[in-house]
Amino acid sequence: LAADLEKLTDEPCVTADGHHLSLWVNTGLRLDSQLSLDRGAEGVGLYRTEIPFLMLDRFPSEEEQRKAYREHLEMFAPRTVTMRTLDIGGDKDLPYFPIEEANPFLGWRGIRICLDHPEIFLVQLRAMMRASEGLNNLSILLPMISNVPELESALQLIYQVYDELTEEEGYQIEMPNVGAMIEVPAAVYQIRELARRVDFLSVGTNDLTQYLLAVDRNNPRVAELYHACHPSVLRALWAIAEGARGEDTPVSVCGEMAGDPIGAVLLMALGFRVLSMSATNLLKVKAILRQVSLSEAEQLLEEVMLMPDAGSVWRHMEKALKKPE
């Protein structure tokens, strides 16, 4: 790591004109958790719980999950750890839970599987909440929400688990904050209905880009069409930020866009103040955000919002951010 970047570890993420942004990390493996702490992350915006499930040849038991989650929560306490409930299906298959489908990204994935298999979902929720006992730094994040009933069903199961643990079993647990991922285009158009039902929102730009542009995020043949700077993606992000603000619901971004210097500047200009990214990108993003001012970023956004395609947006941003002061 470059020495000039390393120096930023303990520096705040404040723009040239004094606006503060929170930089969080995405985690999954123990390895990146340590790196996240070393890089001065303010919290975990996305813990991909698929990882402990991928490391076994069967579903982990409640106790196995509780231990893995506890370790993560302890490591970051008192900072918040946002644990996403199981997001299998799509490109993430468990060998012991095979799913055969013609269109996995449009099929049985994320929250859809958990609602069809409450026995898997309830065990995971119990493990998460029990793991947070005495720490109370847990937030729960629901992936692939595409309609209101889905969100309400998931919330109901979360309250059910919480009531059982605290009222019937005597655990001393604070109710975790619960949030929804915004990563399906339908969620963008119902942003206020979703926002008012949760404690926070988190934008998954990887899937949102894939679904908005109809471009498989893993298919090299169409990789050139996959671009988070596509004007349609930027407009969707703008609508999300505005909708969340309208409901006073905190919103963060946890897709790859947040870990890219140009993406991060655009997201800041769009109104996002919490960005969650891979630990390896954290200091690079902090460096660029400390160099630009919010007003300059907003001016740039105004310019690129008039542009017709992703390439023009990208080149304009690149040129502007490279400009010597």
Q: Which positions lie near Mg ion, rule CB under 5 A?
A: 183, 204, 207
Q: Choose between 150 and 183: whose C-beta lies nearer to ligand PEP.
A: 183
Considering only 32, 150, 183, 260, the residue that binds ligand PEP (CB under 6 A) is 183
Asked if 58 and 96 touch (Cβ cutoff 8 Å), the reply is yes
* Contact flags string 99-118 toward ligand PEP, x per CB under 6 A: --------------------
Closest approach of ligand PEP to the CB of residue 184, in Å: 10
Q: Does 42 sit near ligand PEP (CB under 6 A)? A: no
Q: How far apart are CA 122 and CA 206, in angstroms?
A: 27
Q: Does 32 sit near ligand PEP (CB under 6 A)? A: no
In DSSP terms, 44 is beta-bridged to 25, 81
Q: Choose between 150 and 183: whose C-beta lies nearer to Mg ion.
A: 183
Closest approach of ligand PEP to the CB of residue 254, in Å: 5
| Residue 48, contacted partner among ligand PEP, Mg ion, none, CB below 5-8 A by kind | ligand PEP
Q: Does 227 sit near ligand PEP (CB under 6 A)? A: no
| Residue 205, contacted partner among Mg ion, ligand PEP, none, CB below 5-8 A by kind | ligand PEP
Q: Choose between 145 and 173: whose C-beta lies nearer to ligand PEP.
A: 145
Question: Quick one: which of 12, 72, 67, 88 has its CA closest to 36?
Answer: 72
In DSSP terms, 83 is beta-bridged to 47, 140
Q: Does 176 sit near ligand PEP (CB under 6 A)? A: no
Nearest position to ligand PEP, beta carbon: 204
Closest approach of Mg ion to the CB of residue 278, in Å: 14
Handedness of CA 112, 116, 120, 124 (dihedral sign): positive
Question: Quick one: which of 188, 172, 170 has its CA closest to 180?
Answer: 188
Structure tokens at 92: 């993430």
Question: Quick one: which of 65, 23, 25 has its CA closest to 47?
Answer: 25
Contacts of residue 244, defined as CB under 8 A and 6 or more positions apart, other chains included, come to 191, 195, 201, 250, 251
From start to end of 134-187, where are the E strands?
A: 138-142, 177-182
CA angle, 278 as apex, 273 and 283 as ends, to 5°? Answer: 70
Asked if 199 and 178 touch (Cβ cutoff 8 Å), the reply is yes
Closest approach of ligand PEP to the CB of residue 195, in Å: 18
Considering only 255, 259, 261, 263, the residue that binds ligand PEP (CB under 6 A) is 255
Contacts of residue 231, defined as CB under 8 A and 6 or more positions apart, other chains included, come to 305, 307, 308, 309, 310, 313
| Residue 279, contacted partner among Mg ion, ligand PEP, none, CB below 5-8 A by kind | none
Residues comprising the chain, all counted? 325
| Segment 67 to 96, residues that bind ligand PEP, using CB under 6 A | 87
Q: Choose between 41 and 292: whose C-beta lies nearer to ligand PEP.
A: 41
- Total of residues contacting ligand PEP (CB under 6 A): 10
Closest approach of ligand PEP to the CB of residue 53, in Å: 13
Closest approach of ligand PEP to the CB of residue 192, in Å: 21
Considering only 48, 72, 126, 130, the residue that binds ligand PEP (CB under 6 A) is 48
Q: How far apart are CA 49 and CA 53, in angstroms?
A: 7
Q: Does 251 sit near ligand PEP (CB under 6 A)? A: no
| Residue 260, contacted partner among Mg ion, ligand PEP, none, CB below 5-8 A by kind | none
Contacts of residue 93, defined as CB under 8 A and 6 or more positions apart, other chains included, come to 99, 104
In DSSP terms, 155 is beta-bridged to none
Residue reference for tokens 């103040």: 273
Contacts to ligand PEP by CB under 6 A: 46, 48, 87, 183, 204-207, 254-255
